[in-house]
Structure 1
């Protein structure tokens, strides 16, 4: 489940990095499988997975004089992204 994560991505607000998940897949996959299954059976997602950090990113490197020169980028939980991918995979198989 975590083997395909890109280790070059940033950690989300939970500070769980893709590198950590890939390195510790054997130890963590059972724990996260239980969390994901419970989340799906209760039709709810843990609050810590829902948080994101919004960062302003310049649209063009040369002009950053006003707010319109920025776009927003949201850092979300890598664990939540993994859950979303698993749900999408399941829905596509139907």
Structure 2
């Protein structure tokens, strides 16, 4: 391909990226609404005294590692789900330590917060940004952390619902 062709192609992709970026950053384009009238103190008072501490075990992390879908691609961290699943027994202990420390300190390492947004075509004209939905690709280790915490919260909430 001549160098002019490469420049034109690069310009075209940069233009597409800019259009999608502008569209997804525009709050009017988002298909949900945001309420500014939520009183957090009132919500907390309605909940009463509920104690919830997340205790993460090595077994929880091992189960999450073993259940990860190996057919998914690596996240922005470059770590493949296949690697994590194949090394689950070796990684369960250090990841358990990391997840416990993160919850205890109330801080998630910056590397686990990095994500990538990919526009996925829904239907209609492909040249219209409104016909795409944004999908967030998160680091694979963050997915494991999310799976473990979700499991704990889900168990807790379902237990409270069945009590009432």
Please tell me the TM-score bracket, short chain as reference. Answer: 0.7 to 0.9
Distance 2:155 2:131 in 1: 41
Shift of 1:30: 1.3
Which position in structure 2 is the counterpart of 1:22? 85
Partner deviation per Cα, 1:20-72 (whole Å, 9 max, x = no partner): 10011122111111111111111111111111100111112x62022112111
Does residue 140 of structure 2 align to residue 64 of structure 1?
no
The alignment's C-alpha RMSD in Å is 1.5
Give matches, 1:38-53, under 5 Å. 38-53=101-116
TM-score by length of 2: 0.53
- How many residue pairs match? The answer is 93
Q: Which runs of 5+ in 2 are unaligned?
A: 1-61, 157-164
Structure holding more strand per residue: 1
Q: Which runs of 5+ in 1 are unaligned?
A: none
Which position in structure 2 is the counterpart of 1:88? 150
Shift of 1:82: 1.3
Distance 1:22 1:50 in 2: 21
Distance 1:90 1:55 in 2: 29
